[in-house]
Amino acid sequence: MNKTFLLLCSALVLASCIMTSCKSGNKNKNAAMPQVKYESKVLQPESRVYNMSFPATTCGTTEIKVYPQIEGLVTKKSFSSGTKVKKGQTLYVIDPTEYQLSVKSAAANLGVAKAKMETTKLQYESNLKLFEKKIISDYVLQTSLNEYNSAQASVIQAEAQLNIARTNLGYCTVTAPVTGYVDANGFDVGDMATRTQYLCTVSDNSLVDADFSLTESELLRIVKEFGLRIGPKGMEGPKGTFIGNAMPKLKLKLKDGSTYDKEGVVTKIDAIVNPTTGTVLCEAEFENPNGVLRSGLSANVILPIELDSVLCVPQTAAVRLQDQMMFYRIKQDGTVEGIICKVYPSNDGTEYYITEGLNPGDEVITNGAGKLSNGVKVR
């Protein structure tokens, strides 16, 4: 009995030690687990510059399609496509043979008309003297006068035909209408030129337009931001001012990633939204003194908007819920609540600018928001 009692006591003591050891281990483990700390930010209005970017295509402000004024075989081409030409420089020569003959024929006809006019003039002057002496009747005099007048009209007509023939001969040499860069339309020596198809395009690139589009939401935002209104010629600035003076200067980002060294101005925003695309067409004008820009380049127009009073939060603060953004605001009792906000991202991808949902003075969680839910106590 004594042995049994001793064994039982030993077992109880051992079990008690084991339980004490386990509780002590759990207590130490819980003490070792650190409390989660969430970073936060108290929102206050800040200043930022937000760059709106729009795909654009460039073209010369003066772009002329050169049509031949006559028809004929192209016998000479005096340029290479893409090169710069000066106003009045020869571009093409159309076979002049036919038109040279027309000039000679018209000149000969003029000579005949002038000779006839001189003859009828002499006849009239002679008849006038005879009439004064009452040798011939008034009818004969009037007839000779009519013949003289008709001959004079024939001379004028012949002179006009000669001028037309000379003009057509001049059209055999096709020249550049402006100084700029020339782009051939596939015409070369041996091709037949017609009045219905243009030979080439000459672009004056001293000023270059960048054509781009705005979506409806972008248009509404820009109209509100800069106080634009619809005028007789499309969008204009406040009180009818030029739209380019109402909006900030634009930058042009080229395809190689570089930024063009000249700033541009908005010159046109259509007042009508295209119902098919949901966009409006816009134009911006850039100076191009060194000819860096060419027609047909792809680029991005950059419109900077100065934000003087905007609430900025790191993008790590956002929890994306399909097409919505939620941020956790810390309440006075230390718990959090999710707030759906309207935002747009900063250009460097580090921040969101709050346009609706949060207010100055609100404190939001900026890191670890994805682990939270409504009502979780963070402090």
DSSP letters, 201-213, are EEEEEEEEEEEEE
Contact 60, 179 (CB under 8 A): no
pLDDT of residue 6: 38
Tell me: pLDDT of 327 over 50: yes
Residue 36: its pLDDT value, please?
A: 66
Q: pLDDT tens-digit profile of 266-305?
A: 999 998 889 999 999 999 999 998 888 888 899 999 999 9
Output the average pLDDT for the chain. 88
pLDDT at 310 over 50: yes
Tokens of 273: 């939204």
Question: How many angstroms separate the CA atoms of 197 and 334, rounded?
Answer: 77
More confident residue, 51 or 8: 51
Residue 331 CA to residue 210 CA, distance in Å, equals 50
User: For domain 40-48+308-371, which architecture applies?
Assistant: Beta Barrel (2.40)
pLDDT band at 22 (very low <50, low <70, confident <90, very high): very low
For 338: left if phi > 0, alpha if psi spans -120 to 50, otherwise beta; the answer is beta
Rounded Cα distance, 317 and 327, in Å = 6
Decide: 200 and 185 in contact? Cβ < 8 Å: yes
| Residue pair 163/19 in contact by the 8 Å Cβ criterion | no
What's the pLDDT at 206?
A: 86
Q: How many residues appear in the chain? A: 379
What whole-number distance in Å separates Cα of residue 194 and Cα of residue 116? Answer: 38
- Looking at residue 35, its pLDDT comes to 56
Query: Could you give the percent of the chain with pLDDT greater than 90?
Result: 72
CATH class of 97-170: mainly alpha
State the architecture of 71-95+173-198 in CATH terms: Beta Barrel (2.40)
Q: Was domain 52-60+202-307 assigned CATH 3.50.50.60? A: no
pTM score over 0.85: no
Per-residue pLDDT band for 323 (boundaries 50, 70, 90) equals confident
The span from the CA of 340 to the CA of 354, in Å, is 10
Domain boundaries, the chain: 40-48+308-371, 52-60+202-307, 71-95+173-198, 97-170
| Order of strands, sheet of 72-77, starting from the edge strand that comes earlier in the sequence | 173-175, 90-94, 72-77, 192-193
The yes-or-no answer to whether 71-95+173-198 and 97-170 have a common fold is no
More confident residue, 69 or 35: 69
CA separation for the pair 197, 65 (Å, rounded): 9
